[in-house]
Each structure stands twice: as structure tokens, then as C-alpha cells.
Amino acid sequence: MSKRVFYILGLLLILGALLAACGGQNSSNAQPVKTVVVTVEAKGNAASGQGATLKAVKDRGYLVCGVNAQLPGFGYVDKEGNYKGFDVDYCHAVAAAIFGDPSKVEFRPLTAKERFTALQTGEIDVLIRNTTWTLTRDTELGTNFAPTTFYDGQGIMVRKDSGIKKLEDLDGAKICVATGTTTELNLADQMSARGIKYTPVVFETADQVFGAYEEGRCDAVTTDKSGLVSRRVTLKNPDDHIILDATLSKEPLGPLVRQGDDQWFDIIKWVVFATFTGEEMGINSKNVDKIKAETKDPNVKKFLGLEGEMGQKLGLSDDWAYNIIKYVGNYAEIYERNLGPNTPFNLPRGLNASWKDGGLLYAPPIR
């Protein structure tokens, strides 16, 4: 037998396998059935079982939080090398709820493409990286979405001197976009619905996307509007660029966890709700100690851990919400600190206001 025969056999085998994979509807559908037995025995010892995540985090002594490192305002590294931003503050809030110490977090910077695999494989405990809640991601990816922390919408930024005013002007345009985002899909959907021809130029990271846009590779660049506002500040001449009025999509951004550990899912959900509740009750990091000492309101007492043992139901200490408000702040404080009028972004609250002020933030009662 000559070597060549081996090569050819190998090649045929691979091609055969590929064809079977592509064409074999039956075989691929049958596969899950065969391995059901494995599923059952796996549930018991898998690290993602009920209550396992909290235990793992406590044993480790710190939280591992997947974040963005390239989106000023939401997740970025400042000049001193510290992670800062809206999403980053939510990582601190989770750490404060678990340990009573917001600094017990290790950050993992992830690209849009890496993020779900990192969560699925257990490399991170929670993903808080401006991630849009969609049905597919909630189901097929094996992840669960906690309540939305930021309601966003997709926008398009162009050069002022390009004369582009509305979506229809983009006919024939090249548009820079990041891979692995809902943005990429929305763009295709919206343009196809309107019959506008365009060419996407796809990159892995936001730095590459905006770098190529700035070099003039694309007529337009698209991502969530908050992302456009935040990245525009970093361009050479921010005033040369405008963001079109059109909003292409709904982008509810929030934290997500692996499926299969409901206790951990509950903790993340209620950490988010605690920041909403803090704003609803008018409790912030400055007045929380005073209110805790003086309050007679049963709802506030339950919230701050003076009554009802709410924290224990989550597997945490009763002052979990107090710690969040005390060390990180309520929603309004987190927002103002990272995106408010004193920052370069100056984003209006819009939909991200409490329901009392006509926004969408509404927390179920803590009782």
C-alpha cells in the first residue's frame, strides 16, 4: 500500500463525514435520542447544577465576571488600569451582594464572539457585557437572561460631509459592523426589508470596526446607539460624525447566566431588581445608613434586611441589598456615574427611567 492510498482514503472519509453532516437529516436528529442516558447521569455531577455556582464563587472567594473592555461608559479599562463602566458596576453589585465587598471581582474581557462560549464552558460566572436579550440566545445557547439593565436601540453613524440623512441614502454603501452581534442580523433584516443594497465589512472587535470606519473604509458604522455615542467620543473629530435618527431595532441589554442553576439565576435577577428598588424608594449610597437606622416602613425594612430574612431565601446574607446600595449605589447613581451629564456621553435616561418617571424600569416587590 502506498502512502497515496492512505491519503485518498483519509480524504474520502472526511468528505464523507462532512456530507453526512450536511445532508443527513435523520442521523443528526437521531443523535440526541441516543445520548439521553448520558444526560441524566451528567446532571448530577456537572458544575452547573442547582446551587453549585454560588458555592463555587464563595469557595473561590471572588466572582468571575465577563465584560466588554472596549466600550467606554459600559465596560472599559481606565488610565490606571481599572475596569470601569455601567456593566462593570453591575459586576461590583453582584460581588457586594455575595461578599459584602464590591472589589471581590475578577474581570474577563471578552469579544462579542467569545462571550457565550465563555459562559457555557463555565469560564465566567455571569456575563454582563451589553448583550441583547433574544429568544434564540435565551433558549438554544443554554443561557438565561436576567432583567434588562439598559434599553437600547440600534443606530447608524455616518460622516457629516457624506450627505447621508436617512437609511435610504445608504444604497450601495459599505457598512462596518462587528461579527457575532444582533446588530449584524438587524442590519441585514432592515436593509432587506427596505430593499436597500449594501455591503457589510465585518470585524471581530469594536476597535477594528471603528478603526476601519475612521480610515474611510466604510460609509457608515452601526451598533447600539449607546455604543455609537460612546465610541464617537473616541474618534479624532467627534463633531464630523452624526448619528442618524432611525432606530433599527430593540436592544434590551442585560446580564446572563448558564441554564441549570436557578438559585444563581435568582441572585442575579434580584441584584438587578435591588438597584431598581433602591431608586424607587429613594434610597442611595449616601442616605442608606440614615434610613436604615430610622425607617419604620416595613417595605424598606425588608429591603434593607431588618425584617423577613429576604437574603436567606436567595442563599445570601440578609443585608445583601444594603450592601449593593451602600457600596455600588441604586440604578440612578450607577447611571449618572457612567453615562450621565457629568460624563462625555451625557445620555438622556429615556426608556431607562423608573416607571414612576415614565420609563420601563419596574421591580417586583421584595417581600
Partner 1 sequence: MNEAVPFWRDERVLKWIAQIVFLVAVVASVWYLYHNMITALAARNLLPSFHFLKLTAGFDIGEHLIPYSRNSTYGRAFLVGVLNTIEVSFLGIIFATILGIIIGLMRLSTNWLLNKLASIYIEIIRNVPLLVLLVFWYTGVFLQFPRLKQAKILPGPTIVSNRGIAMPWGTPTATWHTYLYILLAGLILAAIVWWRLTLIGKRTGRMPLVTVWSFLTFLGVAALGWGLVTLIFHQAPLALSTPEIKGLRTVGGLELTPEFLALFSGLVFYTAAFIAEVVRAGIQSVSKGQIEAARALGLNGFQTLRLVVFPQALRVIVPPMTSQYLNLTKNSSLAVFIGFPDLYSVAGTIHNQTGRAVEVTVLMMGVYLSFSLATSIFMNWYNKKIRLVER
Q: Does 202 bind partner 1 (CB under 8 A)?
A: yes
DSSP assignment letter at 80: T
Closest to partner 1 by CB, 114 vs 266, is 114
Residue selected from 77, 101, 109, 208 as contacting partner 1 according to rule CB under 8 A = 208
Cell of 101: 465587598
Residue selected from 31, 50, 287, 346 as contacting partner 1 according to rule CB under 8 A = 31
Q: Does 287 bind partner 1 (CB under 8 A)?
A: no
Q: Is 291 left (phi over 0), alpha (psi -120 to 50) or beta?
A: alpha
Which parts of 150-303 are beta strand (E)? 150-152, 154-159, 173-178, 198-203, 220-224, 241-243, 251-258
The enclosing H or E element of 241 equals strand 241-243
DSSP lists the bridge partners of residue 357 as none
State the Cα–Cα distance between residues 335 and 89, nearest whole angstrom: 10
* Sites for partner 1 among residues 100-119 (CB under 8 A): 112-113, 116-117
Q: Does 199 bind partner 1 (CB under 8 A)?
A: yes
Q: Does 342 bind partner 1 (CB under 8 A)?
A: no
Minimum Å gap between C-beta 268 and partner 1 is 17
As a whole number of angstroms, the longest Cα–Cα distance in the chain is: 90
In the shown chain, the binding pattern of residues 232 to 271 toward partner 1, with x for contact by CB under 8 A and - for none, equals: --------------------------xxx-----------
The enclosing H or E element of 220 equals strand 220-224
Closest to partner 1 by CB, 18 vs 233, is 18
Q: Within 10 Å of residue 62's Cβ, how many Cβ atoms?
A: 16
Residue selected from 55, 179, 207, 317 as contacting partner 1 according to rule CB under 8 A = 179
Q: Within 10 Å of residue 9's Cβ, how many Cβ atoms?
A: 11
- In the block, residue with C-alpha cell 435520542: 33
Q: Does 189 bind partner 1 (CB under 8 A)?
A: yes
Cell of 170: 445608504
Q: Is 330 left (phi over 0), alpha (psi -120 to 50) or beta?
A: beta
- Residue 316, C-beta contacts closer than 8 angstroms, at least 6 positions apart: 97, 98, 267
Q: Does 39 bind partner 1 (CB under 8 A)?
A: yes
Note the residue count of the chain.
Answer: 367
Closest to partner 1 by CB, 5 vs 293, is 5
Minimum Å gap between C-beta 121 and partner 1 is 8
Minimum Å gap between C-beta 21 and partner 1 is 5
By CB under 8 A, name the binding residues for partner 1: 3-4, 7-8, 10-11, 14-15, 17-18, 21-22, 24-25, 28-29, 31-32, 35, 38-39, 41-43, 46, 48, 112-113, 116-117, 120-121, 136-137, 140-142, 170-174, 179-180, 184-185, 187-189, 191-192, 198-204, 208, 211-212, 215-217, 219, 258-260
